[in-house]
Amino acid sequence: MKRFIHFIIFLAFVLAACGPGGISGELPTPQISVHAAPDVEGTVNAYLTAWNSGDYASMYGMLSSASQDAIEAEQFQDKYAMVATQANLFRVDYEILSTLTNPASAQVSYRVTLNSAVIGPITRDTNMDLALEGGLWRVVWDDRIILPELAGGNVLNLERFVPTRGIIYDHNGEPLAANTQAVAIGVIPSLICEGDGPDVISELARVSQRPAAELNELIFPEDVEPQYYVPIIEVSAEEFEARAGNWDQCTGIYYRAYDTRLYFGSAGPQTIGFYGPIPAEQVPEYIPLGYQSDDKIGRMGIEAWAEEYLAGTRGGALYVLNPAGEVVTKLAETAAQPAASVYTTIDIELQQRAQEAIKDFSGAIVVLERDTGRVLAMVSSPGFNQNWADPNNDNSFWDTYFPDDVGRFFNRATQGQYPPGSIFKPITFSAALESGLFEPESTLDCANQWYGLANIVLDNWTVVKELPPDGTLTLVEGIMRSCNPWFYQIGLDLYNAGMTDAVTEMARGFGLGSPTGIQELPEVAGTLSAPNVDNAEVGRQQAVQQAFGQGSTTITPLQAAVYVAAIGNGGMLYRPQLVDRVVDANGTALLQFEPQVNGTLPVSETTLQALQSGMRLVVANARGTAYRRFTGFNIPVFAKTGTATAAEAEGVDPHAWFIGYTDAGREDLPDIAIAVMVENVGDGSEFAAPIFRRIASYYFLGSPGPLYPWESEFGIVDPIYFDETLQAEATATAEAGGEEGGTAVTPVP
């Protein structure tokens, strides 16, 4: 009976499913839901790719819920970060070998290669387990995913082999920076017994090679409470042994030896740079290069530029340690490779003398070999003592000295942008002659005032000095006297003749408006623009401004040195060169630099000779603007004074410039070009020219020459000069042939 009932029900179902024709109708097609299987290898690829890119947060997001319960995100990320740091990883490579998939679990075998910057590649075959959760494959994490040896909580530990940092030499092979034992020397004034002061000063002067008067002023300042401790100098242990006397009975002197990277004489701080801790924000960049977070690097200058050579190649032994800190195994080991050394073009003695020459001012000095572009000295003042970058130095004021907060690290020689003032006039002079509108013998009445612009009267510098007008001058004599009206007129005439960009293009031909191409230091291009051609009134004023080096034109002291060298060497604009060669531990040159010409001055031989004649008269003719400063100096100098109004700083003194080159023709000493710029101090003839002479005198004669007008002794400023007699001295200088900058034109809005 039960079977019969089932049959009747089945028959009814079939009949109901039939169409109008009975059972010949088709049955409905069954609907089957099909789900695509999750991609196991895709998950593994995504995880390992994230590892290679250091995206630990994404990796943690791929873990199974059980794994995330077992390890917190921070702990997880720390594990991977520690592996990257200890092994100095720069890349993770992988290859999937096989995949075993079950309905709810999977295991993937893969080959992983950890590429270490220190010990090379480490390759292992390992496995990754996965679990299916919510339709997605999740990683079941354990330590062997990184390396099989890390199973059970083991960790990596790198014993590092760091080679001694390479030496930086000057061009004579004298060290500028080297790892050595040094001695920090200072004095505690309160401990100096009565009557011992002269002996203390004498001893410190000998060991530091500093003037006794300078030390006396430093240790026993007038009307000021002495410091508790006065740092004097850091010298090598060898220098200390050679210079220091018996100080057992010399009260107040303090000294202590320490191991350091010593900067001899603190020469060229912004150029040579210093060796200091890796800034925290840059640590991730250096770990893949083989460094650790507490390492030091070259922080600026040649130290930074040559880091890969000076650092050598780090080596190390990579160990696996168990949770108790015991060695389980050594994964790999590589030896360190010795560092290379850098031979610069710097002359350490000239560099130190140049630093001393401008130490009382803010400014810059660049000294080049005239005929090669090799940098013999580069000064940015104020400077800093690189030796204070080492906290182990008892003289160091690390906390207040580094990092820089007052602009000590700023390199005024390559990064300072200043209006050139009258040192721009050789460019305007060249544009005038090359235009065909002027000849070297062309004349102009150099009056005290010039009326070439409507409703604007411009003064010559002689007005400020209350001097009579210069009278009729040739164009060459206009350079000699730095006659502002001559250059006002050139700027206006060229503009009116349709040569609106003649001076601008000549300036570009002299290398302005573009970097010089110095490789080892950051530099700026300065600013250079042509006068307005849409508004003639504004354009004329801008042309006049530009013609005497004011307005929107700015240059760097390095650019000035390069183009004045080109004037002296026949027209070749050399790329400034700071490094002569880089040499490995075996003496083989890894890099060798030769003089490189960037271009030539766009002037004829006639123009160049005329310009040279005018620049020679600046110092050799009794009416020259720097004649008085070079009286008795027998080395031929060709130069140009400059006094530039700093438009951005109203009410302050102008910048003082002096640029020039020598033409001694000596076989033992190449001729040099020098650019001196002193910020906000006054006339170029008054301040920059004496500094130029002192540097040239040290270079050729080995002596400083005469005292500066503002010195009471060498290295000691006479405060009375600046306080009471400055105007009288400036007037006397002008009467003998001084020079002032022109009056800036205010453009019509």
Domain boundaries, the chain: 40-152, 168-342, 359-396+607-737, 421-604
Calculate the alpha carbon distances from 563 to 106, 285, 567, 573, 603 in Å. Answer: 72, 39, 6, 6, 13
**Each residue of 645-665: pLDDT tens digit?**
986 556 789 999 999 999 999
Query: In this model, does residue 613 exceed pLDDT 50?
Result: yes
Query: In this model, does residue 26 exceed pLDDT 80?
Result: no
- 617-637 average pLDDT score: 97
CA–CA distance, 82 with 364 (Å, rounded to integer)? 46
Q: Supply the pLDDT for residue 352.
A: 97
Burial class (CB in 10 A: 0-12, 13-18, 19+), 517: middle
When mean pLDDT is compared across 527-536, 541-550, 553-562, 717-726, the lowest value belongs to 717-726
Q: Which residue has the tokens 């080679």?
A: 163
pTM assigned to the model? 0.88
- 150-179 average pLDDT score: 97
Question: What is the amino acid identity at position 245?
Answer: G
CA–CA distance, 146 with 150 (Å, rounded to integer)? 7
Confidence of residue 250 (pLDDT cuts 50, 70, 90): confident
CA–CA distance, 244 with 382 (Å, rounded to integer)? 29
Count of Cβ atoms closer than 10 Å to residue 711 Cβ: 16
CA–CA distance, 76 with 54 (Å, rounded to integer)? 12
Can you count the helices (H) and strands (E) in the chain?
26, 29
CA–CA distance, 188 with 99 (Å, rounded to integer)? 75
Q: How far is CA 21 from the centre of its chain?
A: 96
- 657-680 average pLDDT score: 97
Residue 416: HSE in the Cβ half-sphere, 13 Å Cα cutoff: 30
**Each residue of 39-67: pLDDT tens digit?**
999 999 999 999 999 999 999 999 999 99
Helix (H, G, I), strand (E, B) or coil at 613: helix
For 40-152, which CATH superfamily applies? NTF2-like; domain 1 (3.10.450.100)
**Percent share of the chain, pLDDT over 70:** 90
CATH of 168-342, one of 3.30.1490, 2.30.30, 3.40.50, 3.90.1310: 3.90.1310
CA–CA distance, 21 with 29 (Å, rounded to integer)? 19
Q: Supply the pLDDT for residue 650.
A: 64
Q: What region does 620 belong to: left with phi over 0, alpha with psi -120 to 50, or beta? A: alpha
Q: Supply the pLDDT for residue 652.
A: 85
Query: In this model, does residue 440 exceed pLDDT 80?
Result: yes
Specify the pairing of strand 572-574 against strand 449-453: unpaired
For every residue of 193-225, which 3-state class applies, written as one string?
CCCCHHHHHHHHHHHHCCCHHHHHHHHCCCCCC
The domain 421-604 having CATH identifier 3.40.710.10: the answer here is: yes
- 549-577 average pLDDT score: 97
Helix orientation angle between 425-435 and 536-547, rounded to the nearest 10 degrees: 120
Confidence of residue 749 (pLDDT cuts 50, 70, 90): very low
Q: Which residue has the tokens 């700093």?
A: 646
Confidence of residue 727 (pLDDT cuts 50, 70, 90): very low
Rg (CA), the chain: 37
Name the CATH topology of 359-396+607-737. Answer: Beta-Lactamase (3.30.450)
Q: Supply the pLDDT for residue 397.
A: 77
- 570-574 average pLDDT score: 98
CA–CA distance, 214 with 205 (Å, rounded to integer)? 9
Confidence of residue 222 (pLDDT cuts 50, 70, 90): confident
Task: Assess contact for 187 and 227: CB atoms under 8 A.
Answer: no
**Each residue of 377-409: pLDDT tens digit?**
999 999 999 999 999 999 997 676 666 666 789
- 176-191 average pLDDT score: 96
Helix (H, G, I), strand (E, B) or coil at 666: coil
Q: Which long-range contacts (CB under 8 A, 24 or more apart) does 646-654 make?
A: 646/418, 646/419, 646/679, 646/680, 647/419, 647/550, 647/744, 649/680, 652/680, 653/680, 653/681, 653/682, 654/421, 654/680, 654/682, 654/683, 654/741
User: Across all residues in the chain, what is the average pLDDT?
Assistant: 91
- 126-150 average pLDDT score: 96
- 706-726 average pLDDT score: 84
- 600-623 average pLDDT score: 98
CA–CA distance, 520 with 526 (Å, rounded to integer)? 18
Q: Supply the pLDDT for residue 33.
A: 36
Query: In this model, does residue 413 exceed pLDDT 90?
Result: yes
At 19, phi and psi to the nearest 5? -80, -165
CA–CA distance, 647 with 657 (Å, rounded to integer)? 16
Residue 124: HSE in the Cβ half-sphere, 13 Å Cα cutoff: 15
- 247-258 average pLDDT score: 90
When mean pLDDT is compared across 136-150, 399-413, 458-472, the lowest value belongs to 399-413
Question: What are the residues facing 699 on neighbouring strands?
Answer: none
Query: In this model, does residue 422 exceed pLDDT 80?
Result: yes
Confidence of residue 30 (pLDDT cuts 50, 70, 90): very low
Query: In this model, does residue 291 exceed pLDDT 70?
Result: yes
58-80 residues labelled b (16+ CB within 10 A) or e (exposed): ebbebbbeebbeebeeeebbebb
Provide CB contacts within 8 A for 69, sequence distance 6+.
none
- 320-349 average pLDDT score: 97
Provide CB contacts within 8 A for 395, sequence distance 6+.
184, 185, 186, 231, 232, 233, 234, 385, 387, 388
Task: Assess contact for 692 and 639: CB atoms under 8 A.
Answer: yes
Widest CA span of the chain, in angstroms?
Answer: 144
CA–CA distance, 253 with 185 (Å, rounded to integer)? 7
Torsion over CA: 681, 626, 557, 491 (sign): positive
Query: In this model, does residue 245 exceed pLDDT 60?
Result: yes
**Each residue of 510-533: pLDDT tens digit?**
999 999 999 999 999 999 999 999
Q: Supply the pLDDT for residue 484.
A: 97
Give the dihedral of Cα atoms 410, 552, 684, 691; nearest 10 deg. 20
**Each residue of 270-281: pLDDT tens digit?**
999 999 999 999
The closest of 132, 138, 136, 156 to 146, measured between CA atoms, is: 156
Query: In this model, does residue 588 exceed pLDDT 90?
Result: yes
Task: Assess contact for 660 and 673: CB atoms under 8 A.
Answer: yes
Task: Assess contact for 120 and 313: CB atoms under 8 A.
Answer: no
Calculate the alpha carbon distances from 166 to 267, 278, 375, 580 in Å. Answer: 17, 18, 21, 15
Q: State the DSSP code for 134.
A: T
At 196, phi and psi to the nearest 5? -90, -10
Helix (H, G, I), strand (E, B) or coil at 398: helix
